[in-house]
């Protein structure tokens, strides 16, 4: 396993922990934005973990990185709004969403490339 994959696992663990915290906070405050942020963090933390443990090369690492960055940006913007800030910066949530979409597409390409190049 590469050092980058280890870093991705650390980030995934922090995403998962943050997702649980946001889910609990959202349940107590009835904040829809926190519940949505929690869901995105938890789902993508699991995906990043699986990809990082799989290894598989640079394209897989790129997919996991895009998923992690996108989910953190998206959830961070929603959490900032829920906790009273206007937002992280203009278009932060849509940029995070695009990052996640790019990550999922990159994962598909990585798997396709791996399938084509296998003997």
To the nearest 10 degrees (0 to 180), the angle between helices 58-82 and 3-29 is 20
Q: Stretch 25-39: mean pLDDT, rounded?
A: 88
| Residues spanned by the domain of 78 | 3-117
Comparison of pLDDT for 77 and 32, the residue scoring more:
77
pLDDT band at 85 (very low <50, low <70, confident <90, very high): confident
Look at the chain and report how many structural domains it folds into.
1
Q: Stretch 61-86: mean pLDDT, rounded?
A: 94
pTM of the model: 0.93
- At residue 119, the pLDDT reads 67
Q: Stretch 30-39: mean pLDDT, rounded?
A: 89
- At residue 30, the pLDDT reads 72
H runs (alpha helix) in 1-119? 3-29, 32-54, 58-82, 92-117
Burial class (CB in 10 A: 0-12, 13-18, 19+), 116: exposed
């Amino acid at each position: 396993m590469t050092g980058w994959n280890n870093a991705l696992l650390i980030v995934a663990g922090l995403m998962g922990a943050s997702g649980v915290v946001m889910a609990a906070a959202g349940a107590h405050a009835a904040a829809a934005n926190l519940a949505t942020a929690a869901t995105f963090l938890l789902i993508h933390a699991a995906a990043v973990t699986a990809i990082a443990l799989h290894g598989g090369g640079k394209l897989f690492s790129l997919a996991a990185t895009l998923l992690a960055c996108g989910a953190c940006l998206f959830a961070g913007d929603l959490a900032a709004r829920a906790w009273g800030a206007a937002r992280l910066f203009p278009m932060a949530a849509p940029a995070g969403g695009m990052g996640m979409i790019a990550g999922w597409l990159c994962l598909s390409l990585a798997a396709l490339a791996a399938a084509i190049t296998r003997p």
